[in-house]
């Protein structure tokens, strides 16, 4: 096999600028303490250094919002024999089973949150996919890899090889590989290609094994933002797969610098440096003796103590700070997105702001969709190699899938929908006006942007059925009453169901059998049509009884 440690070393050299970028992004995420330095890189003394939380807040909001997105699995094929729904269920069960396996490992993040964070901060991520049979049981292993420590080489048909470098403890290594190491931890290189797997601990190969997948069982997804794969300059790797800090990476340190300067000026306003004029020179007075509260300092004529004037430094810093704040809003999230706005906005303004925020999500969602697509296609190929019937899912929810149902030509895609209550309410306001000109499907698709417009339309028509026809409403009520009587033993519910069935001119047995109520006879000529018995009594003005014949005594009204 090739000398993979040497190949990885070459890749590290190629990725040096990219690695430096990722290190800077990690410092922004972890709010590395800012220290104001001069042009030579030396820390400036007597500065109140401030580290603003803007990048961490921005990252937390975006990562959390990505975690709240709804995923929809879509399998499509022109082959009528393909059971798309069955394949979708298989893929969902496979991902659930792999996630369940990851949760058994202490401290290991599940697939979704790991991918979200990676695509936001690293701009790329990878997964090792190994579906295999162990002791007669399918082991659905999907291991997430950190994009910063993943190295690979592309070939004509995919990855030629992929390697993952980690640092592991002495106890872990000795237990797993039955080796002895001197230090408390060591670097581990896990390498996979189309034929086998090698594991290197330090400079020593501790494992070499073949596999039968016929391909490198690793998938890699890179965010399509940064232009490094379009503008093919010599240093393009540095600009491939940008993080969410793409537009604010250089602004944050300058914002911290200005905040530190302003806070230092504030402190100097409280305890400003002084200039003391004394006859004959000599040593200055003690600062606290001369400037303390209720202090008295004796001076001769011509002597004084005055603070140093900094001119308009404070005003210039405040003006620049406002410029930086606007740049941060344009490159990250505004106060509206972060929920700190103190005044209401119109529906149209909220929709526009929501669309602007979606531009931050979109490249991440596209990369996540591609990652899941490649993962699903890979574990499907591996399961087809296993053949027969496989059982996948989580404990208590496992299902059996025939691999024959997974064969054929079809495409898989994953759609993600980022939802925000504020934006949804705003879209509903716009939709109410759009009803004058657009049909329901267009409103659902273009205005409300729901995940499955046709499903929503079907559910709406099902709901409207009881509004249009009272018989449908009666039937639904009867079925719910019967279910209540059966599950809870409610005799009143059963009795009420019989009463409503009798009102329809049917028995409960007929309704359970799915028979239709007798048709309403057409009204006789000259007579108004007789409608159904009102559900809640007769509406409209009360009808007055006819007057008695002349000379007859009117019956007294009951109740006075």
pLDDT tens digits along 409-451: 999 888 876 666 666 777 788 888 888 888 888 888 777 777 7
Residues composing the chain: 560
User: According to the model, what pLDDT value does residue 155 have?
Assistant: 87
At what angle are helices 347-386 and 421-434 packed, to 10 degrees? 110
CA distance 226 to 249: 13
The strand pair at 158-169 and 150-155 is best described as antiparallel
CA distance 499 to 535: 12
Q: How many CB atoms sit inside 10 A of residue 279's CB? A: 10
φ/ψ of 173, rounded to 5, equals: -70, -45
User: According to the model, what pLDDT value does residue 163 have?
Assistant: 97
CA distance 529 to 538: 15
H-run or E-run covering 171 = helix 170-177
- 301 phi-psi bin (left φ>0, alpha ψ -120 to 50, beta other): beta
* SS3 state at 101: helix
Residue ranges for the chain with pLDDT beneath 50: 340-343, 345-356, 531-543, 551-560
Nearest to 95 by CA among 361, 365, 373: 373
CA distance 224 to 370: 11
Structure tokens belonging to residue 148: 């910063």
CA angle 8, 11, 15 (to 5 degrees): 140
φ/ψ of 148, rounded to 5, equals: -70, -30
Asked if residues 14 and 8 have their Cβ atoms less than 8 Å apart, the reply is no
Structure tokens belonging to residue 118: 């990676």
HEC string for 286-325: CHHHHHCCCCCCCCCCCCEEEECCCCCHHHHHHHHHHHHH
User: According to the model, what pLDDT value does residue 538 have?
Assistant: 47
Q: Tokens 């230090």 map to which residue?
A: 183
Q: Tokens 């990476």 map to which residue?
A: 249
Asked if residues 450 and 444 have their Cβ atoms less than 8 Å apart, the reply is yes
Q: Which long-range contacts (CB under 8 A, 24 or more apart) does 178-183 make?
A: 179/204, 179/206
User: According to the model, what pLDDT value does residue 456 have?
Assistant: 84
CA distance 110 to 12: 27
Nearest to 223 by CA among 240, 236, 241: 241
User: According to the model, what pLDDT value does residue 522 have?
Assistant: 61
| Half-sphere exposure of residue 458: CA atoms within 13 angstroms, side-chain side | 4
- Contacting residues for 318 by C-beta, under 8 A, at least 6 apart: 262
| Helix, strand counts (H, E) of the chain | 16, 14
CA distance 219 to 381: 13
Asked if residues 242 and 123 have their Cβ atoms less than 8 Å apart, the reply is yes
CA distance 120 to 59: 8
């Amino acid at each position: 096999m090739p000398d993979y440690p040497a190949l990885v070393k070459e890749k590290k050299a190629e990725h040096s600028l990219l690695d430096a970028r990722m290190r800077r992004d990690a410092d922004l995420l972890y709010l590395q303490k800012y220290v104001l330095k001069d042009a030579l890189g030396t820390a400036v003394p007597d500065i109140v250094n401030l580290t603003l939380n803007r990048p961490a807040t921005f990252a937390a909001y975006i990562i959390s919002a990505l975690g709240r997105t709804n995923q929809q699995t879509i399998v499509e094929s022109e082959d009528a024999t393909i059971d798309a729904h069955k394949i979708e269920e298989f893929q969902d069960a496979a991902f659930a089973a792999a996630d369940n396996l990851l949760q058994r490992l202490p401290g290991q993040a599940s697939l979704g949150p790991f991918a979200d964070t990676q695509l936001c901060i690293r701009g790329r991520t990878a997964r090792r996919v190994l579906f295999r049979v162990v002791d007669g049981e399918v082991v659905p292993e999907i291991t997430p890899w950190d994009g910063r420590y993943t190295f690979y080489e592309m070939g004509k048909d995919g990855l030629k090889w992929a390697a993952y470098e980690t640092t592991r403890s002495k106890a872990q290594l000795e237990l797993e590989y039955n080796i002895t190491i001197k230090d408390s931890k060591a670097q581990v290189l896990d390498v996979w290609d189309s034929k086998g797997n090698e594991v290197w601990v330090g400079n020593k190969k501790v494992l070499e094994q073949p596999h039968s997948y016929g391909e490198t069982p690793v998938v890699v997804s890179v965010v399509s933002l940064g232009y490094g794969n379009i503008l093919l300059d010599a240093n393009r790797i540095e600009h491939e797969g940008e993080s969410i800090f793409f537009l604010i990476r250089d602004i944050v340190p300058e914002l911290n610098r200005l905040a530190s300067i302003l806070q230092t000026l504030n402190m100097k306003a409280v305890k400003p440096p002084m200039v003391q004029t004394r006859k004959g020179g000599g040593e200055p007075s003690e600062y606290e003796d001369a400037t303390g509260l209720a202090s008295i300092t004796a001076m001769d004529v011509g002597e004084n103590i005055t603070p140093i004037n900094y001119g308009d430094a404070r005003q210039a810093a405040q003006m620049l700070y406002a410029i930086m704040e606007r740049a941060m809003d344009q490159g990250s999230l505004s106060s509206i997105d972060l929920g700190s706005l103190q005044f209401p906005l119109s529906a149209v303004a909220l929709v526009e702001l929501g669309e602007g925020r979606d531009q931050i999500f979109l490249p991440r969602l596209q990369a996540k969709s591609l990652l899941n697509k490649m993962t699903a296609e890979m574990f499907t190929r591996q399961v087809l190699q296993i053949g027969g019937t496989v059982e996948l899912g989580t404990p208590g929810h496992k299902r059996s899938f025939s691999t024959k149902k997974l064969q054929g030509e079809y495409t898989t895609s994953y759609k993600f929908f980022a939802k925000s209550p504020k934006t949804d309410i705003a879209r509903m306001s716009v939709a109410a006006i759009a009803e004058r000109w657009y049909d329901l499907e267009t409103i659902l698709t273009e205005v409300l942007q729901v995940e499955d417009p046709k499903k929503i339309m079907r559910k709406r028509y099902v709901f409207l059925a009881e509004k249009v026809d009272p018989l449908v409403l009666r039937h639904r009520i009867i079925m719910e009453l019967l279910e209540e009587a059966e599950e809870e033993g409610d005799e009143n519910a059963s009795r009420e169901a019989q009463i409503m069935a009798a009102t329809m001119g049917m028995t409960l047995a007929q309704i359970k059998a799915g028979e239709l109520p007798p048709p309403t006879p057409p009204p006789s000529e000259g007579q108004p049509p007789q409608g159904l018995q009102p559900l809640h009594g007769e509406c409209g003005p009360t009808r007055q009884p006819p007057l008695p014949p002349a000379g007859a005594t009117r019956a007294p009204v009951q109740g006075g």
